[in-house]
């Protein structure tokens, strides 16, 4: 349970220790609540949107994250210099660093997130597994050991196929699938090297690989008074290289009974570490609908908007209210999931060239609007995509009363979205929205990498989609000769846009 000193903490000025769309998301929540804001920025982000939007902004170093957004000392210094009383870390960077959370506490700053000890316990995957087991939470069978020899021995009881996973960090780094014993030594060495480079910790452990599984996560909220609730599930199985690319809520395969069981387990896991703030419990769901604890993300998730849309709960504002010592405004019985929401991560990458990152200046950025469409972004015309940070340009989120309506709106929104100057993965998302397997919910965590190809573009399967495309063409004033077939248009969103401009002129 949180201490009385934390319960009585109040703040009116907050520093956002992040950049891009999540910095903008936090800034907007603060402005709505009347909280003054402080932004930090690197050389590369001198003209970034979050710098312009905040009440104050401070330079913290060169472009590489290790020299700026990962500099805990500089961020604490800016907070003290600016008079900020709290720090929101967003996601990524320092958001799951227990050391940083502790530094905030030691310097009299409110850390918008869980207590340092909760981050420490859930941040180490082996410790998190042990904590989950003690709380009665089902976990994927696994094994551990300090040396490669001990891990090779443990693999005999875990069984193959299995995963070698980094104990620290996430995002697919330090992770290697192994299908036979002969490949295990090499996978251990590679995973250790990658984990050491990414997290400064080469510790790894083993986990049985559950094939054809689905990645389901449960959003939780916990206040400083012992109240914990869940906000239902998100379907996050569509991944590439262990990175989520499309998420939706609710899940196609989770019914109300399973939702409540998973939600109760997620709440128990959060209570086991005296959790406070927003967090996410991630599960693997097998073909028989058995679910297993994977890990806990002790921060706000990239995909939190879809939960906000189907529950009506502003998760970032709730984080801020909780940090101010407020009790949760909702009880579990108040949470009702209504409608359907889908999120597509719009990245600067070339889906026709092995998703190679694309850098350069964005010359045109026309975001889609209209009923049920939300775009969270930090870019604008003239913004430069650099190699220093991840390639995400925006999050395109569409809501509908049904999954079908959400998909139709996403198709429209993707068609409207215009980005020039860099290549994007918009064609990938268009392709996925037309995929028979996606439409019918027949996918798992390996679907994108093993059974999905950009060259196999399918035509839209519904009459509604054809009608929608015709209406869009009419609204845009296009002549019939300018309307191209899906396969041709999908050569690239930015190429098609250029063609449309030339024809119009």
pLDDT tens, position by position, 438-448 = 999 999 999 99
* High-pLDDT (> 70) share of the chain, %: 88
User: What strands lie across the sheet with 228-240, from one edge to the other?
Assistant: 291-297, 277-285, 214-222, 228-240, 243-249, 340-347, 392-400, 373-377
For tokens 């709730």, what's the residue?
A: 318
115-138+210-338 and 340-505: identical CATH topology: yes
Q: What is the pLDDT of residue 458?
A: 54
Per-residue pLDDT reduced to its tens digit, 259-269:
999 999 999 99
- Cα–Cα distance measured from residue 16 to residue 455, given in angstroms and rounded to the nearest whole number: 42
**In this predicted structure, what is the pLDDT of residue 449?**
92
CATH homologous superfamily for 141-208? ATP-grasp fold, A domain (3.30.1490.20)
Q: Which residue has the higher pLDDT, 358 or 495?
A: 358
Mean pLDDT for all residues in the chain: 89
What's the number of CA atoms in the CB half-sphere (13 Å) around residue 66?
4
Question: Does pLDDT of 29 surpass 60?
Answer: yes
Instruction: Tell whether the model's pLDDT for residue 5 goes beyond 50.
Output: no
């387990």: which residue's tokens? 265
What distance in Å separates the CA atoms of residue 377 and residue 396, rounded to the nearest whole number? 9
Contact between 60 and 51 (Cβ < 8 Å): no
Q: Are 198 and 166 in contact (CB under 8 A)?
A: yes
Going by pLDDT thresholds of 50, 70 and 90, the confidence category of residue 462 is: low
pLDDT digits (tens, 9 = 90+) for 390-415: 999 999 999 999 999 999 999 999 99
The predicted pLDDT at position 464 comes to: 54
pLDDT at 465: 53
So what's the pLDDT on residue 4?
41
Mean pLDDT of 47-65: 97
Residue 474's pLDDT band (cuts 50, 70, 90): very low
Q: What is the pLDDT of residues 158-176, one digit of tens each?
A: 999 999 999 876 667 789 9
Class of domain 340-505 as given by CATH: alpha beta
CATH of 4-112, one of 3.90.550.10, 3.20.20.10, 3.40.50.20, 3.40.50.300: 3.40.50.20
Tokens of 467: 């009608």
The reported pLDDT for the residue numbered 357 is 95
Residue 479: pLDDT over 50: no
Find all residues with CB under 8 Å of 50, minimum gap 6, and list them: 16, 19, 20, 23, 24, 27, 39, 41, 57, 378
Q: What is the mean pLDDT of residues 270-277?
A: 97
Q: What is the pLDDT of residue 495?
A: 45
How confident is the model at residue 198, as a pLDDT?
77
Identify the pLDDT of residue 168: 78
Beta bridge partners of 397: 343, 374
- Kindly give the residue spans of alpha helices, DSSP state H, lying in 294-334: 304-311, 315-323
Active-site residue list: 299
pLDDT value of position 7: 44
Residue of 171, 142, 168 lying closest to 157 (CA atoms): 142
What residue segments make up the domains of the chain, in order of their start? 4-112, 115-138+210-338, 141-208, 340-505
pLDDT at 3 over 60: no
Taking only the tens place, the pLDDT of each residue in 301-319 is 999 999 999 999 999 999 9
**Mean pLDDT over residues 147-160, rounded?**
93
What's the pLDDT at 299? 97
User: Of 18, 27, 296, which Cα lies nearest the Cα of 137?
Assistant: 296
Report the C-alpha gap between 235 and 218 in whole angstroms.
9
Q: Quick one: average pLDDT of 422-436?
A: 97
Q: What angle do CA 261, 91, 33 make, to 5 degrees?
A: 90
- The predicted-structure confidence for 339-375, as pLDDT tens digits, reads as follows 999 999 999 999 999 999 999 999 999 999 999 999 9
The structure tokens 């981050």 sit at 119
CATH of domain 115-138+210-338: 3.30.470.20
SS3 86: strand
């Amino acid at each position: 349970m949180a201490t009385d000193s934390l319960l009585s903490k109040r703040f009116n000025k907050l520093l956002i220790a992040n950049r891009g769309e999540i910095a903008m998301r936090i800034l907007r929540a603060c402005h709505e609540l009347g909280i003054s804001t402080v932004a930090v920025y690197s050389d590369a982000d001198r003209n970034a949107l979050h710098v312009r939007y905040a009440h104050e902004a401070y330079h913290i170093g060169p472009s590489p994250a290790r020299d700026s957004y990962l500099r805990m000392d500089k961020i604490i210094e800016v907070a003290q210099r600016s008079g900020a009383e709290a720090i929101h870390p967003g996601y990524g960077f320092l958001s799951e660093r227990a050391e940083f959370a502790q530094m905030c506490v030691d310097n009299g700053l409110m850390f918008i997130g869980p207590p340092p000890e909760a981050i420490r316990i859930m941040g180490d995957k082996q410790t998190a597994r042990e904590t989950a087991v003690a709380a009665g939470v089902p976990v994927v069978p696994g094994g551990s050991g300090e040396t490669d020899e001990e891990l090779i021995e443990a693999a005999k009881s875990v069984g193959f196929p299995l995963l070698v996973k980094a104990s620290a960090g996430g995002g697919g780094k330090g992770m290697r699938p192994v299908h036979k014993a002969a490949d295990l030594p090499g996978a251990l060495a590679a995973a250790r090297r990658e984990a050491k480079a990414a997290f400064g910790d080469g510790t790894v452990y083993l986990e049985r690989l559950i094939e054809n599984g689905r990645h389901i996560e449960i959003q939780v909220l916990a206040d400083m008074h012992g109240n914990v609730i869940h906000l239902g599930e998100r379907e996050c199985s569509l991944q590439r290289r262990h990175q989520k690319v499309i998420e939706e809520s609710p899940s196609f395969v989770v019914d109300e009974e399973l939702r409540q069981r998973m939600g109760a387990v997620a709440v128990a896991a959060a209570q086991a570490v005296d959790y406070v703030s927003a967090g996410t419990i991630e599960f693997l769901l097998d073909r028989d609908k058995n679910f297993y604890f994977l890990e806990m993300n002790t921060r706000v998730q990239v995909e939190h908007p879809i939960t906000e849309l189907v529950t009506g709960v502003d998760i970032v504002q709730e984080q801020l209210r909780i940090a101010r010592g407020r009790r949760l405004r909702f009880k579990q019985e108040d949470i009702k999931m209504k409608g359907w929401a889908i999120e597509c991560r719009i990245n600067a990458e070339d889906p026709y060239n092995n998703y190679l990152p694309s850098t350069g200046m964005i010359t045109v950025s026309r975001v889609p609007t209209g009923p049920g469409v939300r775009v969270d972004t930090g870019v604008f015309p003239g913004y430069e995509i650099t190699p220093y940070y991840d390639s995400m340009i925006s999050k395109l989120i569409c809501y509908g009363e049904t999954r079908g309506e959400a998909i139709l709106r996403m198709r429209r929104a993707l068609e409207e979205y215009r980005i020039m100057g860099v290549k994007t993965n918009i064609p990938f998302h268009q392709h996925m929205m037309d995929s028979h397997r996606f439409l019918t919910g027949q996918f798992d965590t390996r679907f994108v990498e093993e059974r999905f190809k950009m060259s196999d573009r399918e035509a839209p399967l519904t009459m509604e989609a054809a009608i929608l495309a015709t209406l869009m063409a009419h609204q845009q004033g296009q002549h019939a000769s300018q309307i191209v077939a899906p396969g041709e248009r999908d050569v690239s969103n930015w190429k098609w846009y250029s063609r449309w401009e030339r024809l119009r002129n």
